[in-house]
């Protein structure tokens, strides 16, 4: 086995790789229209409430229903343009927003005011064709998304999103305690450097993830390539991989668990981070600093063996 060693400045590298993509919720209130591709079938900005995006046999997105909340919170504005399709705008939220889930039911309060149940906020149902590009900024609330072409989501700390399948690219940013799950994406670009709980059942070509704070990522199957950059106390489990290349850079007290085959790998582990690889990951470039540890098939890796 040939193992080479390279020495990146790990904390700085992970910080740059994971820090730059992350913007504040305010900056994401309206996502740029060119990030998922040339067309946009549906764009929902600055929304608090309940969203259902369902499949349509028509060629364009359309509103099925809008139900105003049981209070006057959260006006909904609907716009339709030839260039970008359907656009829905919710209410600009105050900066101070708190939320809690009790038995799965979300309640939200603003600036230490009274708590409002999710039923006080709007609920919308929108139908889109499977070829649509969808962009969603969900500050707080629950969302369901059907099969679509491309999906870009910013999920705030009070958001819970369940998606089916993305034919091409998923771009996901989560913050705080946001929860996101999806069955399949050909490519998944994830920024959970500010928190989030993420489950992706299947990635068909490329998984690229930045994880920080107490974020968690679980994937049942990854094919192609995987790039994982981790810090804080983040956790990632890639349960079954078949990769041409694995790239992993870990700092803080983060932990990565990879099971399966990788033709080559670049792994850097610093601080008190841990990486566990089993099942046939070929070690390429390895760098361990401070108390960073690499465990290969149950045994601690201490450097290349001399044949």
Q: How far is CA 152 from CA 111, 134, 237, 287, in A?
A: 29, 6, 23, 34
* 12-57 tens-digit pLDDT: 445 445 643 333 333 344 444 444 444 659 999 999 999 999 999 9
Share of the chain above pLDDT 70, in %: 84
Phi/psi for 33 (5° steps) reads -80, -5
CA distance 304 to 286: 9
Share of the chain above pLDDT 90, in %: 70
Q: What is the mean pLDDT of residues 162-173?
A: 98
CA distance 255 to 67: 43
The pLDDT of residue 104: 84
Q: How far is CA 293 from CA 191, 276, 296, 301, in A?
A: 24, 9, 10, 7
Q: pLDDT confidence of 70, banded at 50, 70, 90?
A: confident
* 240-291 tens-digit pLDDT: 999 999 999 999 999 999 999 999 999 999 999 999 999 999 999 999 999 9
The pLDDT of residue 72: 74
The pLDDT of residue 236: 98
The H or E element containing residue 18 is helix 10-19
Q: What is the mean pLDDT of residues 221-229?
A: 98
């Amino acid at each position: 086995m040939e193992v080479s060693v390279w020495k990146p400045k790990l904390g700085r590298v992970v910080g740059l790789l994971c820090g730059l993509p992350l913007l504040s919720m305010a900056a994401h209130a309206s996502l740029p229209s060119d990030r998922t591709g040339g067309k946009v079938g549906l764009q929902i900005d600055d929304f608090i409430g309940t969203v259902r995006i369902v499949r349509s046999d028509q060629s364009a997105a359309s509103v099925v229903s809008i139900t105003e909340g049981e209070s006057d919170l959260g006006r909904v504005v609907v716009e339709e343009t030839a260039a970008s399709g359907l656009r829905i705008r919710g209410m600009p939220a105050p900066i101070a927003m708190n939320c809690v889930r009790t038995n799965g039911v979300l309640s939200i309060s603003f600036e230490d005011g009274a708590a409002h149940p999710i039923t006080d906020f709007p609920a919308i149902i929108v139908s889109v064709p499977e070829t649509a590009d969808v962009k969603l900024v969900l500050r707080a609330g629950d969302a369901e998304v059907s099969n679509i072409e491309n999906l870009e989501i910013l999920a705030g700390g009070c958001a819970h999103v369940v998606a089916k399948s993305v034919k091409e690219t998923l771009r996901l940013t989560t913050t705080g305690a946001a929860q996101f799950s999806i069955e399949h994406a050909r490519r998944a670009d994830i920024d959970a450097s500010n928190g989030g709980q993420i489950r992706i059942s299947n990635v068909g070509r490329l998984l690229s993830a930045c994880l920080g704070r107490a974020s968690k990522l679980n994937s049942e199957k990854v094919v192609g390539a995987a790039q994982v950059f981790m810090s804080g106390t983040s956790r990632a489990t890639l349960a079954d991989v078949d990769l041409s290349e694995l790239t992993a850079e870990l700092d803080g007290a983060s932990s990565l668990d990879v099971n399966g085959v990788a033709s080559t790998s670049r792994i850097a582990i610093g601080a008190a981070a841990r990486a566990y690889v089993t099942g046939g990951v070929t070690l390429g470039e390895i760098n361990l600093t401070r108390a960073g540890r690499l465990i290969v098939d149950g045994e601690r890796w201490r450097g290349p063996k001399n044949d």
